[in-house]
Amino acid sequence: RLAPMNHWVFKTVPDDFSIDVLARAPGKKTRWYGVRNYQARNLLRDEVHKGDLVLLYHSSTVPSGIVGICEVVRAAYADDSAFDPASPYFDPKATAADPRWFMVEIRLKERFARLLTLEELRMVKVLHDMELLRRGSRLSIQPVTLRQFNAIVALAKK
């Protein structure tokens, strides 16, 4: 692929899915499914490419923060949890012909030695306009610039 690599934040509530689950998975690889917001869906389906790098964020924890880096190993394909009536992500309007929701596969690349809290991220000037730090930010798939990504990786090493 000739297009430059994209960078992302993926948010997850660790009670539902956490970096620990990813770390224990075969090949440290899992499907990233259950996105049920159209804006996030569109990013996942159209903009998240194989080879992109992802900052994994744990939300609804005290404190919340970024816990590591993943790599996208498979681009978007039908999220079949939408077809399963027993799944909390079931959507009766999703069909094989028109899946409506999509998932990708990610692999854990690096688990940070420590969690980077929102408070700490807010103190970094380069990160001031990050979507994650915006008041009322809820989008579960967020684009990140290379500058922001690099600043966060550098912060994790400190």
Partner DNA sequence: GCCAACGTTGGC
Q: Does 24 bind DNA (CB under 7 A)?
A: no
The CB-of-11 to DNA minimum distance in angstroms stands at 5
**Do 75 and 50 form a contact (C-beta atoms < 8 A)?**
yes
Q: Does 11 bind DNA (CB under 7 A)?
A: yes
Q: How many residues touch DNA (CB under 7 A)?
A: 20
Q: Does 60 bind DNA (CB under 7 A)?
A: yes
Tell me which of 20, 24, 46, 63 binds DNA, using CB under 7 A. 63
Q: Compare residues 4 and 92 and give the one whose CB is closer to DNA.
A: 92
Q: Compare residues 74 and 100 and give the one whose CB is closer to DNA.
A: 100
Supply the DSSP string of the chain, one letter for each residue. --SPPPEEEEEE-TTTS-HHHHHHSGGGEEEE-----HHHHHHHHHT--TT-EEEEEE-SSSS-EEEEEEEEEEEEEE-GGGG-TTSTT--TT--SSS---EEEEEEEEEEEEEEEEHHHHHT-GGGTT-GGGSTT---SEEEE-HHHHHHHHHHHH-
Q: Does 150 bind DNA (CB under 7 A)?
A: no
**Do 24 and 154 form a contact (C-beta atoms < 8 A)?**
no
Q: Compare residues 16 and 84 and give the one whose CB is closer to DNA.
A: 16
Contact set for DNA, span 88-147 (CB under 7 A): 118-119, 134-140
The CB-of-29 to DNA minimum distance in angstroms stands at 23
Place of tokens 């939408």: 82
Tell me which of 37, 49, 74, 115 binds DNA, using CB under 7 A. 37
Binding residues for DNA (CB under 7 A)? 11, 13, 37-39, 59-64, 118-119, 134-140
